């Protein structure tokens, strides 16, 4: 098992958590946020009504040495100042409040120890959340403004992911983007149900290709440019690939565009530049239609 003995783990507990009640951990969700550690710590530990969020871990952009000069109240007596420290807000055995309203495949059927649905409208109870600081993300409120994590963040994040996968095997073998699970951010039971802007983090510049086969979607072969776009088949395919809230309207509506965005931001990330204008062209259609999904848990 990969260990974390060579990283500084900074424990900053938050009250924004709850028991998993025996719900199995089936995936890790990667997030990103642009803010510096002091603001993130304030956010994650806030007790203000209506604004309580948390993640299990946060990996800042700067090294421990840099952070110790800026925020000595949090980063002091570090053993590995040349590395990115890992801030832990919630123990992994507990559920952090990171996923919000979220759906993927049949994962919302996950049950807790007494057989009750634990993830009907949110995957919090069955996932782990890791926030990476990306200073360029969502600058000026543009949710399609992306950036990269740096090498020390990747090293810390990769080792953390491997450690968590080993600790919670065999089910916890997948890493998904927040954008993949949070396309539709409302319950069907909401009286004022409407399509809200989806999450877009951590974005297509996240190093998905380096995460050692943590994706449940495979077989991306692309297509020739003469593929004919069949919208109904596209929507059906996205549903089969785990995007279970994708519209089945037969037309390219906002819901469908958001789901294509979500697919491309994680699973088609290497082709994002071909899609950055969000044009669902024949090549993008062919890429999605060639994909295969193999991580249903309950069917």
Residues 255-277 have a mean pLDDT of 91
In Å, what is the CA distance from 128 to each residue of 54, 85, 92, 99?
11, 18, 7, 9
- pLDDT given for residue 1 in this prediction: 46
Residues 15-27 have a mean pLDDT of 97
Residue 2 pLDDT greater than 60, yes or no: no
Q: Band the pLDDT of 276: cuts 50, 70, 90.
A: confident
Percent of the chain residues past pLDDT 90, beyond the cut: 76
Domains of the chain and any CATH numbers: 9-181 (3.40.80.10), 217-293 (1.10.101)
Residue 295 pLDDT greater than 70, yes or no: no
Q: Band the pLDDT of 150: cuts 50, 70, 90.
A: very high
Strand-pair category, 9-11 with 86-88:
parallel
Q: What is the pTM of this model?
A: 0.94
- Return the minimum-mean-pLDDT range out of 54-63, 122-131, 148-157, 218-227: 218-227
Count CB-CB contacts under 10 A for residue 234.
21
Summarize pLDDT for 193-214 with one digit per residue, the tens. 566 789 999 999 999 989 866 6
- pLDDT given for residue 51 in this prediction: 83
Rounded to 5 degrees, what are φ and ψ at 35?
-80, 155
- pLDDT given for residue 215 in this prediction: 75
Q: Band the pLDDT of 159: cuts 50, 70, 90.
A: very high
Which residue is it, tokens 């990476």? 132
Strand-pair category, 17-19 with 94-96:
antiparallel
Summarize pLDDT for 224-236 with one digit per residue, the tens. 455 689 999 999 9
The DSSP bridge partners found for residue 132 are 32, 59
Which residue is it, tokens 């983007």? 177
* Bond from prior residue into 114 cis (ω within 30 degrees of 0): no
């Amino acid at each position: 098992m990969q260990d974390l003995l060579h990283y500084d783990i900074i424990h900053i507990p938050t009250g924004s958590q709850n028991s998993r009640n025996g719900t199995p951990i089936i995936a890790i969700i990667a997030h990103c946020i642009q803010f510096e550690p002091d603001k993130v710590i304030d956010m994650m530990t806030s007790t203000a009504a209506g604004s309580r969020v948390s993640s299990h871990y946060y990996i800042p952009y700067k090294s421990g040495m840099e952070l110790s000069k800026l925020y000595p109240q949090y980063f002091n007596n570090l053993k590995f100042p040349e590395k990115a420290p890992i801030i832990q807000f919630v123990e992994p055995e507990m559920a952090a409040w990171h996923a919000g309203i979220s759906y993927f495949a049949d994962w919302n059927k996950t049950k807790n120890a007494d057989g009750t649905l634990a993830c009907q409208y949110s995957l919090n109870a069955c996932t782990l959340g890791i926030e990476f600081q990306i200073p360029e993300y969502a600058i000026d409120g543009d949710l399609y403004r992306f950036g990269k994590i740096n090498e020390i963040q990747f090293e810390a994040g990769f080792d953390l992911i491997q450690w968590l996968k080993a600790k919670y095997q065999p089910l916890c073998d997948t890493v998904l983007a927040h954008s993949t699970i949070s396309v539709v951010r409302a319950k069907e039971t909401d009286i004022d149900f409407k399509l809200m802007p989806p999450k877009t983090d951590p974005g297509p510049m996240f190093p998905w290709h380096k995460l050692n086969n943590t994706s449940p979607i495979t077989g991306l072969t692309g297509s020739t440019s003469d593929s004919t776009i069949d919208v109904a088949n596209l929507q059906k395919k996205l549903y089969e690939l785990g995007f279970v809230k994708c519209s089945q309207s037969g037309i390219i509506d906002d819901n469908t565009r958001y789901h294509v965005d979500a697919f491309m931001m994680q699973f088609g990330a290497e082709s994002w530049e071909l899609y950055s204008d969000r044009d669902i062209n024949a090549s993008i259609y062919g890429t999605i239609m060639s994909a295969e999904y193999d991580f249903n848990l309950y069917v």
